[in-house]
Amino acid sequence: MVRFITDSGADAPKELLDAYGFTVMPFGVLIGEETHFDGETISPKELYDRMRDGAAPKTFQVEIPRMETVFKEHFEQGEPFLYLAFSSELSGTYQTAVMVASELAEDYPDVPYAVIDTKTASTGQALFVLDVAEYAKTNDFESVKAYSERKVNTVRHLFTVESLDYLLRGGRVSRASAFIGGLLNILPLLTVEDGKLIPKEKIRGQKKVMHRIVDWMEESRENIDGKRLIIGHGDDVNRAEALKAMIEEKFEPAEVIITIAGAAIGSHTGPGLIVIGYED
- Interstrand relation of 113-117 and 155-160 (parallel, antiparallel or unpaired): unpaired
User: What are the residues whose beta carbons fall under 8 Å from the beta carbon of 137, sequence distance 6 or more?
Assistant: none
Contact 29, 42 (CB under 8 A): yes
Would you write out the chain's pLDDT as a tens digit for each of its 280 residues?
A: 999 999 999 999 999 999 999 999 999 999 999 999 999 999 999 999 999 999 999 999 999 999 999 999 999 999 999 999 999 999 999 999 999 999 999 999 999 999 999 999 999 999 999 999 999 999 999 999 999 999 999 999 998 988 666 665 544 443 333 333 343 356 788 888 888 878 788 887 788 889 999 999 998 999 899 999 999 999 999 999 999 999 999 999 999 999 999 999 999 889 999 999 998 8
Buried/exposed code over 71-104 (b: 16+ C-beta within 10 A; e: otherwise) = beebbeeeebbbbbbbbbebbebbebbbebbeeb
Looking at residue 86, what DSSP letter applies? Answer: P
Of the chain, the end-to-end C-alpha distance in Å amounts to 29
d(CA 52, CA 199): 24
d(CA 114, CA 4): 10
d(CA 127, CA 137): 16
Give me the domains of the chain, ranges plus CATH numbers.
3-151 (3.40.50.10170), 155-279 (3.30.1180.10)
User: What are the residues whose beta carbons fall under 8 Å from the beta carbon of 171, sequence distance 6 or more?
Assistant: none
